[in-house]
Structure 1
Amino acid sequence: MAQRRMMCRTDDGSIRPSIFTCTVEKMWERGETMISYSNSRKHKQRTMFASRLSFLLLCTGLTPASLYAQSANPAAADAADGADQLQEIVVTAQRREQNLQDTPVAVSAFNAQQLLSSGVANVRDLAHVDASLNIPSAAGVYLPFLRGIGNSAGGNVGNESSVAGYIDDVYYSRLSTAYLALGSMERVEVLKGPQGTLFGRNSSGGAIQMFTKDPGQTAEVNGMLGYANYDRLSGQLYAATPITETLGWNISLGGVNQRDGWGKSITTGEDAYLEKYATVRSKLVWEPGAGTRIKLVGFYAYSKGDMGLTQDRHSGSYGSSPNWAAFGRPFPAGYPNPAVVLPSLADVPGGHFYDNRLNFKNFQREEGYGASLRIDQEIGFADFVSISAFRNSKGQGHYDADYSAQNFFFGDLNNIDRQWSQEFQLKSRRGSAIDWIVGAFYLHSKAGYNPVQVRGDLLNALIAPGGAQNLYGRQLVNSYSVYGQATAPLSEKTNLTLGLRYTRDEVSGLGRTTATIPGVGEVPIAPNFTAARTYKRVTWKGALDHHLSDDLMAYASISRGYKAGTFNTFSLDTVPADPETVDAYEIGLKSELFDRRVRLNGAVFWNDIKNPQVLTIISKGLAVGIGLTNAQKARVKGAEVGMEAVAADGLKLRGALTYLDAKYRSFVNAPFYTLNGRTLVGPALGDASGFRLPNVPKWRLSVGANYTVETGAGTWVGDVSANHTGGFPWTADNRISEKAVTLINASLNFTPSSLDWLTVGLWGKNLGDVQHYSITQASTGPAGDIGGHISSAAAPRTYGASVSFKF
C-alpha cells in the first residue's frame, strides 16, 4: 500500500521522522493515538512540573468540575509544533490507525486543541465545525443528522440514533447529553456514510467516535475554572499518574451549573432554560508484559435541566387554551371561557422569545453509571481485542403538556435504559500484506417508560379527583452480528477494500395502560400489548482508492447500512417501525498542496433510503406521545468540501461547505397537521412524496481562523468562526420551517511567558444574538385544542472568561 511520511515517538519521549518504524508499530497495535508532523523541525518539548502523587490524590478530591485533558495553551503549542505546515492527522475510522489522507472514508477529525480553540464544549457544538452535521436535542438527548440522515424521535427511550455514538470504542444506544459532555477528550472523529463492516453496532447514517485520554508514564494535572453570563459556572480537572512502570491511572471530573435562565414563565416568574451536570470518568491502564494491554474504565454522569425541552410554540404557530366544551364539561374557575387562541410568545411584542406560559416547570433529570474493559493481546499472526461494557441509566422528566397557565394536563416520564455489550475483534498485524479485521458483536438492551404518568385537572374530571393515567412501555433488544473487512493492494498505489456483515436483531415489546384511582389503586383500562420481531440483514461495503501522487488520493465506495426496527415505547401499543436501510454511493478526493500548507478534501454522494423512519404522534387515551412510522423511499444527494490552510506564520484558516438535496421519493402515509385558526389538529394521512426531509438544510457553511502571536509578555491566541445553516423544514409535512441563521463565535487566550503553565481566556458564542430554535415538533392535544408546533429555543448570545492551568 502507498505509505506516507510520519513522525515516530521514541522510548525517551522525543519525536523523530520515520516511515512507520520504531515504536509507532507498538502504539498502532495498542490502539493509542498520536497527532504527528512530517516536517523535519525538531519537536519543541513542553515544560512540565513533576507533580507528586499526594498532590494528585488531593486534586481528585476537589469539588467536581468538568474536566478536559487539554494544555493550558493548546493552540499556542499547536503553532509551535509545526507553524509552517499542517499536522498529519491519524484516525481510526477503519479500526486501525491510519493517516487521514490515506483513509478512503469521509472523516472529520478534531483533536483536543482544535475543539478547545473552536469553542466546542459538547457534541451539539460539533455542528459548528463540521458542515455535514446538524444536531438538535430533545428531552436530554442529542439527535444527530449526518449528511441528511437522522432520526428526530431519538429522544424516545428505546429508539437508537441513525448516527451511532461511541466513547472509547463502546457503543451508546442513547446519546444522553450527560454522557457526551466532551470531558478529558483526546479526539473526536465523525465518520460519514453507513457503518457496519467495521463497527459493533450497525448504523445507517454514520458514526461519531469520541476518545478520552489514557494515562501514561508522566504525571500531569490540567484544570479550568470558568464563569459566563446567565450566572453559569463551569470547571474542569484532569489528573493522571503512573502507579508502577506498567500501571497508569487517571480521573477526570466535570461540572456546569447555570443558575440564571435565558427566559422565564410569564405565569409563575420561574426561570426557563437552566442546566447543571456533573461527570466523573476514570481509567486504569495496565501493560503487564509485551503485547498485552488492559484498560478498565468507569464513569458516572448526572444532569438536570430544561434545555432542549419544548417550552412554547414555534414562531408563526399557535394553539388554544384548554377547551372543556370538547369534553362536555363546564369550564372550571381559572380557565378562559370560551377557550382563547394562544400565539407563540415569540410573536408577542415585548421580547418574549425565550419565555413560556407554563405553570409547572419542565425538567429532565438523568443519572447513570457504567464501566468497560478492553483487552488487547498480540497472538503472533494477529492482534486480538475484547471490549466488554455495561451501562445503567434512569431518568425522570416533568412536562407541562398543555403549554398554558392552567393545571390542565401534565406528565411525569420515568425512564429506564440499560445495555450490555460484548465485542471481539481479530485483526492483522501492522505491516501485513493485507489489512484485515473480523469481529463479532452482541448487544442486550432494556429500555422504556415505567411509567409515563399523566395527571392534571382533565384526569381529575374524567377519572377521579387525584386520578392519573399510566402508560408502561418496555422494549428488549438482543442483537447478534459478525463482520469483516479487508484491504488488499492491487498495485503500489491502488487498494481494494471489501467488507461484509450479518446482523440478527431480536426485538420484543410489552405495553400496558392503567388508571390510578384514589382509594381503589391501579386498575387496567386497556388490554396489555405484546409483540416481537426478528430482523435479519446482510450489509456490505466495497471501496477502491488510488494514490495519484504522494499528496493526492481518489476513492470510490458503495455500501449498505441498516438501522433496526424499533417499538414506540411511548406508548407501546402497536407494531414496531420497520428497519431503515441506506444504499450509499460516494466518490471522494483527498489532497495536500503547497508543501502541506493546504489540505483540501471533498466528496460527492448519493444515498437511497428504504423505509426511512419518520417522527409521528401516537395517541393513547388522554395521553399523546411521539413515535416512529415509515416512509417508503427517500433520497439524499449532495457534495461537501473541507479546507485547512497555513496562510501565514501563526495564521491557520479552515472551512467546510455541504450541499444536500434530501427528499421523500415515496411517502403516501405521511402525517399531516393543520392550523385551523384556533390550534393544530391532526395527523391526517397524506402524500408527502417530493417533500423535503425534515432537519436537513440545503446549505451549511463553516469558516474559521486561528492566529497565534508570540510577544515578550507571552503568547496570544485568537480564534474566530462563523457557521451558516440554511433554512429547513422541521416536520415531514413541511408545514413549519426554521429560518436560515448565521452564528459567530470568537475566543482570545493569553499565556504569560513567566507563567507558561497558566492561560487566561475570553470567549463568546452567537455574538450576533440570533434567535433560533434547537428543536420543533408537531403536537396535538387530547381534545384537539392545546397542541401546536412546540419548540425549544437555542442559546442566545453567551460570553465568559476562564482560567486554565497545566502541570
Structure 2
Amino acid sequence: MLIAPAAFAAPADDAAPAADGAAETGGEILVTARRRQEAVQDVPLAISVVDAKAIEATGSFNVAKLTQLQPSLQFYSTNPRNSAANIRGLGAPFGLTNDGIEQGVGIYIDQVYYSRIASATFDFVDVERVEVLRGPQGTLYGKNTTAGAINITTRAPSFTPEGRAEVSIGNLGLVQVKGSVSGPLIGDKVAIRLAGSTTTRNGTIYNVTTDKHVNAQDNLGVRGQLLWKATDTLDLTFAGDYNRQNPDCCAQIYVRTGATQRPLNRQFAALAAAFNYAPPSTDAFDRVTDLDTPLKAKQEIGGASLRAELELGNGSLTSVTAWRFWNWDPSNDRDFTGLPITTVSANPSRQRQWTQEFRYAGTSGKLDYVAGLFGFHQKLHTSGLQVQGPAASRFLLNPGNVPAGSRGCATATTAACNPVVLNGLTSVNDIDFKNTSVAAFGQLTWHITDRLRLQPGLRVNYDKKTGAYTAIVTTGTGSTTLNADQRGVLAPQSYSPKFSDWNVSGDFTASYDVARDVLAYATYARSFKSGGINLSGLPLDANNNPILSAGSVKPEKVNHYEVGLKTQFLDRRATLNLSGFWTEINDYQATVTNGQLGVLRGYLANAQKVRVRGFEADFSVRPVQGLNLYASGAFTDHEYVKFTDAPCPPELSGGSTGAVASAPGTPGGVSPANCNISGQWLPGISKWSASFGGEYAVPVRLIGDDAQTYLGVDGSYRSKFSSNPSRSAYTDIAGYALFNVRAGFRTENKWDLFGWVRNVFDKNYYEVLALQSGNTGLIVGQPADPRTYGATLRLTF
C-alpha cells in the first residue's frame, strides 16, 4: 500500500511530460519488488515508489528526508553509525547500534545488499527510483528484512548520449552539486555512466567551547557503471562507488532535567552546582552547546559489483557479485555537557563484506517463478577507546548517605568526591566480528484463472556469528588493578560470544482481480531475524563481573498478516490503495539501558513479545490537467505485549534497592531491580502519521520555449512518540507537522529553475531524545533542522 502519488511516480511512457504522471497518461509505474519488472498496481504487496523527479523536487536526497513523503518509514540517527531505518515502527532496536545483530530493514542498491545502515545517511547518487516494501520480505530479500526493504535503483548506462547537472544553494551556507553523463563507449556494445554528488552545509548548533557550528553536512559521492552487451542474450554491468562524509557532527544537547530516584544532591542540578556549571542555554532551540570533546563523524563507504543477466529458456538468469567496505572514524561527547566527565568516546570501525546471489526468474504456462541462492560474509573490527575525566567521580559514583547542604560530599575521602578515583580511567576495547549467511529461496505465482493467483514463497537460511570482545582498563596511573568503584564504571572484560542456527521463512499470498483496475490480496508471512551477539560489553553481576549469559540474544520470530486493496478509477486519473496489517514478534531484540549506576552503554536483550497493527491509506488524483493532489496516512497501534524484566525508565532508576519501590521521581527513593513494561508503547512509533500535498502547473511561453510555471506544497505529520526503549515521561517527543513549498519554471527535458522553503513555519521539534548515563536526570536531544530556503537549477542535455 501507500503507492506514491501520481506526481511522485514515473510512468513507463518516458515520452510523457515531466509534470504528467501515470494517472493521466495511462502509463504504468514499473518496479522490481518481486525481482522481475512489473506494474506496481499488479504487485500484491504494500509498496510505495518515489521516482527521481519527486526526489529532486522535494529535496528528499537521502533516506532521512524521504520519511516526510512516506508515513510508514521512520529514520533515526544520532550519528551515521547509530542510525536506524524502521518500517511500521519495526526494523532495528532503538538506541545505540550494536554490531552483533542484523537490521530488520534491508537496504539494496542495484540489487546489492548494504549491511551497514550508515549508508542510509548518504546522498542519493543518480537514483532512478526508490521502492519502499512494507512488511516481511524474507523470501526474496533475506532474513534481515523482517520489517521491510528499501530497494534503490540507479539510472543505467545509456547508448543515447545524455547528461544532467544540478546546483542548489541555500541558507546555512548550503551548496549541493549533482551531475551525471552517459553514452556509448564502443558502438552499440559498451556504454558508460558516471555520476557524482557533493553537499556542504554549515552546522545548525553553535558550540561556544570551540567557536564552531556543529551538526554540519559534508558529503561526497561518486558512482560509475559500465554496461557491456556481450551477446544478444548476455548483459554485464560493472559498477563501482565511493562515498565520504566528514562533518563536525553529531551533538546532542541539553533539553531538560527530570527527577529520578537518586538522592537529590546526586541529581543533575546539584552535581552541576558542585562544579559551578550551567549549560549555555536551557532552551535547546537556541541551538547552543558547550561540548568539550571534539566532534567527528567521518565515514567512507564504497565497493564494486558485477551483475550478469542472461536470457535463458523461458526466463532470465541473474548473478550479482559484490564487495563492499565501510570505514568509521568518530569522536563523541558522551556526557553531553561542557564538564570533563567522559573526555574520550570513540569506536573506530572497519568492515568488509562479500555477497553473491544467483537467481533465475521465468514463466512456464500458468506459473511465474523465482529461485535462487545467496551468500554473505562480513568481517568487522572495532578499536574502541573511552577515557573518564576529573568530573567523572562526582557524576558516576555513589557517596552513600551525606548531610544536607553538602553538595553530595560527606568527606574529601569519599570516592565520589575524589576526582583521582576515575580521572584518567581508560578502557581500550578490541572487538572482532564475523558473520556468515547462506540461503536458498524460491517464490511461485500460480495463475489459477485470469483473475485468481496464489503465491507461496520459501527461504531456508543458515547463519553463523562469532565475536571477540576484550576491554583492558587502566587507572589514571596506568595500573590494571582496579577497585570496585572503578570496575563498576569501566569493567575489564574478555569474552567470545557465538551464535549459529538454521531457520525457515515463508509467505503465502492470494490475490484476485475484482475488476480491471481493482486488485485485492491477503498475505501471511512467517519470518525470522537472525539471533545476535552482544559486542558492546556485558552487564555486570553483584561482584562487578560480566554476566556471560547475556552474550547472545535469540532470533526474532515474526508472524505477519496483511490484507490490501489496490484501485484506480476516473480513467486511471485517481488511485486509492488500502491495507491493514497485524504483526507479532516473539523474542523481539531490544537495545536496553544498563540500569547499573555508572555504566555508559546499553546492551541487547529479548522482549518476550511485541505487536504492531494498523492500517494505511493513500489517495492521489489529477482532477484537471496540470494539477496533482495526494494524501497518505497510517494508523499504527503498538505495544510490548510482554516484557516483564525490562530496564526501568529514569524516573524509577538510581535509588536504593528494596522490596517496595517508591513513587516515580522520588529523590532518595527505592528503585525496582527491573520493570514490567508490558502494555507500554514501543519506541519511535507514532500512532498517527501522514503526508499530503500537491502541485499545480500552468503552460507558459518562456524565452521562445514551451514551458510551465508551477507551485508545489508538501506536508507531513506525526503524532507523539516515545524516544526511550522503556517509555518515560521525560522522553516523549510531541507531535508535529511540517510544510515545504517550491515554485519555479521548467521546460521539458531542458531546464528547471525553482526556489524552495523547507519547514516553512520554522517548527521546533526533536528528532530524538536520550538520557545521560548515571541516572542524573539530564535529558538531551537533537533539535531538527530549522527553516531552510534556497534555489535549485537543473539542466538536462
- Smaller-chain TM-score bracket: 0.7 to 0.9
Confirm whether residue 106 of structure 1 aligns to residue 41 of structure 2: no
Given that 2:499 and 2:533 are in contact with CA atoms closer than 8 Å, whether structure 1 keeps it comes out as no
Query: Given residue 298 of structure 2, which amino acid in structure 1 is its aligned partner?
Result: R
SS in structure 2 of the partner of residue 624 of structure 1: coil
Q: Choose from 780, 787, 792 the match for 1:797.
A: 787
TM-score by length of 1: 0.83
Letter in 2 for 1:428: G
Partner of 1:5: none
Are 2:620 and 1:612 aligned? no
After TM superposition, the structure 1 stretch with the greater mean CA deviation from structure 2, 602-611 or 403-412, is 403-412
SS of the equivalent of 1:114 reads: helix
* 1:400 to 2:342 alignment: no
Matches within 5 A, 1:252-271: 252-259=195-202, 261-271=203-213
1:281: Cα distance to partner? 0.9
Q: Distance in 1 between matches of 2:479 and 2:320?
A: 46
| Equivalent in the alignment of 1:186 | 128
Q: How does 1:229-628 map to 2 (within 5 A)?
A: 229-244=171-186, 245-259=188-202, 261-305=203-247, 309-315=250-256, 317=258, 338=274, 345=281, 347-348=282-283, 352-410=285-343, 411-429=345-363, 432-457=365-390, 468-515=426-473, 526-571=492-537, 574-618=550-594, 624-628=600-604
1:507-542 Cα shifts (integer Å, max 9, x gaps): 112111113578969999735211211122111000
Does the 8 Å CA contact 2:771/2:780 hold for their aligned counterparts? Answer: yes
Q: Deviation of residue 91 (structure 1)?
A: 1.1
- Secondary structure (helix, strand or coil) at the match of 2:348 reads strand
Query: What secondary structure, in the 3-state scheme, does the structure 1 residue paired with 2:376 have?
Result: strand
Once the two structures are superposed, residues 640-670 of structure 1 have per-residue CA deviations (whole angstroms, 9 ceiling, x without a partner) of 0111211211001111010010011100011
Amino acid paired to 1:730: S
Aligned-partner Cα distance in 2 for 1:130–1:710: 30
After TM superposition, list the pairs within 5 Å mapping 1:22-33 onto structure 2: none
AA matched with 1:247: V
Where do 1:640-659 residues align within 5 Å? Answer: 640-659=616-635
Taking the aligned partners of 2:472 and 2:362, their CA distance within structure 1 comes to: 56
Q: 2:692 aligns with which of 687, 703, 710?
A: 703
CA shift, 1:746, in A, is 1.2
TM-score under structure 2 normalisation? Answer: 0.84
Which residue in 2 is equivalent to 1:728? 721
Match of 1:750 among 745, 752, 756: 745
Q: Which residue identity is paired with 1:110?
A: V
> Counterpart amino acid of 1:668?
T
Offset, 1:677: 7.4
Query: Which secondary structure does the structure 1 equivalent of 2:158 belong to?
Result: coil
Structure 1 residue 757: deviation in Å?
2.5
Give the SS at the match of 1:116: helix
Structure 1: how far apart are the matches of 2:680 and 2:75? 21
CA 1:82–1:405 in structure 2 vs 1: closer, same or farther (change >3 Å)? closer
Alignment-derived partner of residue 10 in structure 1: none
CA 1:426/1:614 → structure 2, altered by over 3 Å: closer, same or farther? same
What is the CA deviation profile of residues 583-627 of structure 1, one whole-angstrom value per residue up to 9, with x for unaligned ones? 110110000001001011110111111111122124899651233
Contact kept, 8 Å, 1:150 with 1:162, in 2: the verdict is yes
Residue by residue over 1:471-530, the C-alpha shift from the partner in whole angstroms, topping out at 9 and shown as x without a partner, is 233221111111111000111110000001111111112111113578969999735211
Secondary structure, aligned partner of 1:113: helix
Inter-CA distance 114–323: structure 2 relative to 1 (3 Å threshold): same
Q: Is residue 129 of structure 1 aligned with residue 47 of structure 2?
A: no
Matches within 5 A, 1:90-105: 90-105=30-45
| Matched residue count | 721
More deviation in 488-497 or 743-752?
Answer: 743-752
Shift of 1:684: 4.6
SS for the counterpart of 1:671 is coil
Identify which of 98, 101, 116 aligns with 2:56: 116
Q: Does the aligned pair in 2 maintain the 1:322–1:408 contact within 8 Å? A: no
Cα distance change on mapping 1:498 and 1:188 into 2, 3 Å? same
Maintained 8 Å contact 2:264/2:668: no
After superposition, the CA RMSD in angstroms is: 3.1
Mapped partners of 1:111, 1:681: distance in 2: 55
Q: Distance in 1 between matches of 2:643 and 2:422?
A: 42
Contact 2:577 2:617 (8 Å CA) reproduced? yes
Where does residue 757 of structure 2 map in the other structure? 764
For residues 560 and 361 of structure 2, the distance between their equivalents in structure 1, rounded to whole angstroms, comes to 26
CA distance 1:644–1:448, shift in 2 (3 Å): farther
Q: Structure 2: how far apart are the matches of 1:747 and 1:337?
A: 49
State the SS of the aligned residue for 2:41. Answer: helix
Amino acid corresponding to residue 583 of structure 1 in structure 2: N
Percent of paired sites with the same residue: 26
For residue 429 of structure 2, what is the amino acid of its counterpart? Answer: L
Cα pair distance change 1:522/1:720, threshold 3 Å: farther
State the alpha-carbon separation in 1 of the partners of residues 611 and 104 from structure 2.
Answer: 15
For structure 2, which runs of at least 5 residues remain unmatched after alignment? 1-8, 394-418, 483-490, 539-545, 652-664
5+ residue gaps, structure 1, are: 1-32, 38-42, 46-76
Question: Aligned partners of 1:125, 1:711: CA distance in 2, in Å?
Answer: 31
